[in-house]
Amino acid sequence: MNEHAHISANLSKNQLLVMDALTNSDGPLSAYAILDQLCDQGFRAPQQVYRALKKLVDFNMVHRLESLNAFVACRHPGREDHETLAFMICENCGQVSEFTDNLLSKRLQHLTGAAHFVLNKMTIEFRGICINCHST
Amino acid sequence: MNEHAHISANLSKNQLLVMDALTNSDGPLSAYAILDQLCDQGFRAPQQVYRALKKLVDFNMVHRLESLNAFVACRHPGREDHETLAFMICENCGQVSEFTDNLLSKRLQHLTGAAHFVLNKMTIEFRGICINCHST
DNA sequence: CATAATAATGTTATAATGTAACAACTTTAA
DNA sequence: TTAAAGTTGTTACATTATAACATTATTATG
């Protein structure tokens, strides 16, 4: 199965609802924010959200922002390198931009390789002020 | 005030207790694990731990591991670049190793600079299996 | 088709992590 | 010596996440 094999059509009802909530959101959402949004669609308990999120993260359709305890729909351009995604998170407007960089990936691979560290997951998150917010 | 100006002597009673707990620990500790350890020393409420932790993190004596919701005493060799610390976290034994790398720092500065992103805080955490654990 | 295996759902309860707010006391600096 | 800043203690609460169990839906296989 390749990386974005799980197109929307393959998602279950709840997975689709959670995915839509994230896709239609400007920025990251907490699990409980998603739960609130989906009350009208019959959601009652956090497990319904967390279970859908777990699958969507497995499918690489959603990313968890560890420093925010929140989730974003995957929006990164191209799909070549899911392993070394990084995020810039604006602490003013909440916008998250997702990016990859080849030199960064290479260097990180070198560093973990040199330490003989078998990498499972990488978290790279920058917190700060985005260009729109500090220019005004 | 320079980076490690807050030597132990300058810490308050609670800050010192929390710092000692972290320094004497093999790996990262959650705030509540610290609270449990310090019950004997009179700690009663999470605030006592969280307040001390906040100061210790401000002083760069302790780091928060976002992907674990836990805290470690700073152990990185040298002190030249507190801004671009990274962590390798073994998911088997719990060991955390802290490192910096000049090329990595440069690349990250380039990337945030190019995006005109004003960086406040950087989180770089690798989860995986350390050399000791996968060689046995 | 039958049916076994897997996946998804609904639900209640609880665990784990983190903060607000208020009152008191201690240390530092003017 | 007294005002300011920092520290502590405490109660209550908010937020984030998981355990456990029962049920239904979907998929794969003989």
Give B-chain residues touching A84 at CB under 8 angstroms.
none
Candidates A108, A101, A103; CA nearest to A122 is A108
What lies within 8 Å, CB to CB, of B40 at 6+ separation is none
Is B103 a residue whose pLDDT tops 70?
Answer: yes
Do A108 and B103 touch, CB atoms closer than 8 A?
Answer: no
With residue A86 as reference, give the H or E element that holds it.
strand A86-90
Residue B75 or residue A77, greater confidence: B75
Is B37 a residue whose pLDDT tops 50?
Answer: yes
CA distance A41 to chain B (A): 31
CA atoms within 13 A on the CB side of A89: 23
Helix (H, G, I), strand (E, B) or coil at B92: coil
Query: Can you give the pLDDT at residue B112?
Result: 96
Residue A38: Cβ within 10 Å count: 19
Residue B3 or residue A70, greater confidence: A70
Distance B25 CA to C27 C1' (A): 31
Candidates B34, B5, B13; CA nearest to B22 is B34
Query: Can you give the pLDDT at residue A22?
Result: 98
Q: Is the dihedral of CA A32, B69, B109, B97 positive or negative?
A: negative
How many DSSP H helices and E strands does chain A contain?
Answer: 5, 5
Query: Can you give the pLDDT at residue B80?
Result: 52
What is the length of chain B? 136
Query: Can you give the pLDDT at residue B20?
Result: 97
Distance B44 CA to C27 C1' (A): 23
Query: Can you give the pLDDT at residue A37?
Result: 98
Query: Can you give the pLDDT at residue B2?
Result: 35
Distance CA B42, CA B29 (A): 19
Q: Quick one: what percent of chain B has pLDDT higher than 70?
A: 88
CA distance A60 to chain B (A): 17
Q: Is the dihedral of CA A55, A59, A60, A61 positive or negative?
A: negative
Query: Can you give the pLDDT at residue B76?
Result: 75
Please tell me if residue B44 touches chain A, with a CB cutoff of 8 Å.
no
The mean per-residue pLDDT over the stretch B52-75 comes to: 96
Query: Can you give the pLDDT at residue B135?
Result: 81
Is B4 a residue whose pLDDT tops 60?
Answer: no
The mean per-residue pLDDT over the stretch B21-31 comes to: 97
pLDDT digits (tens, 9 = 90+) for B39-59: 999 999 999 999 999 999 999
B60 CB contact with strand C at below 7 Å: no
The mean per-residue pLDDT over the stretch B65-81 comes to: 83
Distance CA B94, CA B74 (A): 16
Contact B123 A122 (CB under 8 A): no
Query: Can you give the pLDDT at residue B83?
Result: 67
What is the length of chain A? 136
Distance CA B77, CA B99 (A): 8
Domains, chain B, in order of start with CATH, read: 8-73 (1.10.10.10), 82-134 (3.30.1490.190)
* pLDDT, tens digit only, all 136 positions of chain A: 334 445 666 899 999 999 999 999 999 999 999 999 999 999 999 999 999 999 999 999 999 999 999 999 998 765 555 568 999 999 999 999 999 999 999 999 999 999 999 999 999 999 999 999 988 6
Q: Quick one: what percent of chain B has pLDDT higher than 90?
A: 83
